[in-house]
Structure 1
Amino acid sequence: MSRLAIIKAVLGPVMRLMFRPRVEGVENIPGTGPVILAGNHLTFIDSMIMPICLDRPVHFIGKDEYVTGKGIKGRAMAWFFTSVGMIPVDRDGGRGGVAALMTGRRVLEEGKIFSIYPEGTRSPDGRLYRGRTGIARLTLMTGAPVVPFAMIGTDKIQPGGAGFPRPGRVTVRFGEAMEFSRYDGMDRDRYVLRAVTDSVMAEVMRLSGQEYVDMYATKAKEAA
């Protein structure tokens, strides 16, 4: 039995009891082949709930500090996050964005699912912020379809992204797959990259019902 299967067997019933997750549109995720999941990011627990809601394993980028902690707690966190598909990357370095992009490309070229939060960080106030164009580069470089998704309610069970989550209702909503083959060979055109990214974010906004802010979330955090 894989580590992911163990986590689903052990934690699945607990999480279903605590969060009563409702999964909508899962049939929009292809059963085989490379897929990019692109969604909003409200709180830390997003990356714990979404992977265990799907039959196919999901891979995603996470801070390397999640797997370098010391002691029992650090080892437990490392085991959990690598088991649910997290790939640790030093995103704070000067080449962190490139490393994340290349990691995603490798995962997709292996025919797997790669999940990404185009906002690049958690929303500071529950609104949906401008997406970064890495999502567009990934789909244009690999030809993988993009399935937009929305996490709904996770900010209510874990406000601010810190502390132990409290019981509540969570919805994970997947939209129809989007493909951008009409832009083949244009993964370095910044206007195309922006257009593709904005179209994905428009679908995420429709699925989540969030208010959209045409500003990067990092800028909003700095301003605050």
Structure 2
Amino acid sequence: MPVRTLSFLARLIFRPRVLGTGNVPRTGPVVIAANHLSFVDSVVIALVAPRRVVFLAKAEYFTGKGLRGRLVRRLFHALGAIPVERGTYHSARASLDAAQRIINGGNAFAIYPEGTRSLDGRLYRGRAGVAWLALSTGAPVVPVGLQGTERLQPVGSRLPRPHRVTVHFGRPLEFAGRENTARERRRTTDEIMAAIRALTGQEHVTEYNAAA
């Protein structure tokens, strides 16, 4: 199914309120960094962004069985998602390398600095992979605030349900001139998370998210 058709159908379901699309560069490499509330977040971003957004997805989403498995697989293929293995240091490193290649190819790449979904609605400490990508590629980072996606598809639900969501694209953050060191990656990540929080108003948590 064409992405335009998917976008039209999805807008009927989640009635998105989309803000700040002018903040997303229409061409060139860019990192889209968002908070993470639901399985459906990547789909929402991909369907409302003003340009094609590439994201990595767990390989299991491409091997599911039954009707739901086929639907998810076709949806992710249509949106241009790239399957990756997750769960180990080597797979995490491979994911960052794949993301770097995508960005260096002039694409928009979406990432969730929290690493996994927030089950309690709070904004957890960001992991430094987002900063590594920004500093190693020189790409600007557009912070994104998602609201309502946890009700669009709550944890444990098999299919989305009608609910309005808000997607707020913030102003691009530039980190040119910073060295790609551990200290700078931490500082850069914290600034990105602060920008996301300014868009969502979420309660901030200083710990990493360990939710499954």
TM-score by length of 1: 0.90
Matched residue SS, 1:173: strand
Matched residue SS, 2:155: helix
**Equivalent position to 2:170, from 156, 160, 175:** 175
* Offset of residue 172 of structure 1: 0.4
Residues 74-124 of structure 1 show CA distances to partners (whole Å, capped at 9, x for unaligned) of: 333222102212111101234111011001100011000000000000002
Residues 49-74 of structure 1 show CA distances to partners (whole Å, capped at 9, x for unaligned) of: 11011231111111000012235543
Residue 7 of structure 1 corresponds to which residue in structure 2?
3
Q: Is the 8 A contact 2:26 2:50 kept in 1?
A: no
Q: Does 1:63 align with 2:62?
A: no
1:160 & 1:34 partners in 2: Cα distance? 32
* Larger fraction in helix: 1
* Offset of residue 47 of structure 1: 1.2
**Equivalent position to 1:192, from 158, 161, 184:** 184
Matches within 5 A, 1:155-166: 155-160=150-155, 162-166=157-161
Residue 204 of structure 1 corresponds to which residue in structure 2?
196
Instruction: Name stretches of at least 5 consecutive residues in structure 1 with no aligned partner.
Output: none
2:74 & 2:38 partners in 1: Cα distance? 20
Q: Is the 8 A contact 2:144 2:196 kept in 1?
A: yes
TM-score by length of 2: 0.95
Matched residue SS, 1:105: helix
Identity %: 47
Residue 124 of structure 2 corresponds to which residue in structure 1?
129
**Mean CA deviation greater in 82-91 or 202-211:** 82-91
**Mean CA deviation greater in 93-102 or 170-179:** 93-102
Matched residue SS, 1:107: helix
2:206 & 2:118 partners in 1: Cα distance? 13
Q: Is the 8 A contact 1:89 1:100 kept in 2?
A: yes
Instruction: Name stretches of at least 5 consecutive residues in structure 2 with no aligned partner.
Output: none
2:97 & 2:157 partners in 1: Cα distance? 29
Q: Give the count of matched residue pairs.
A: 212
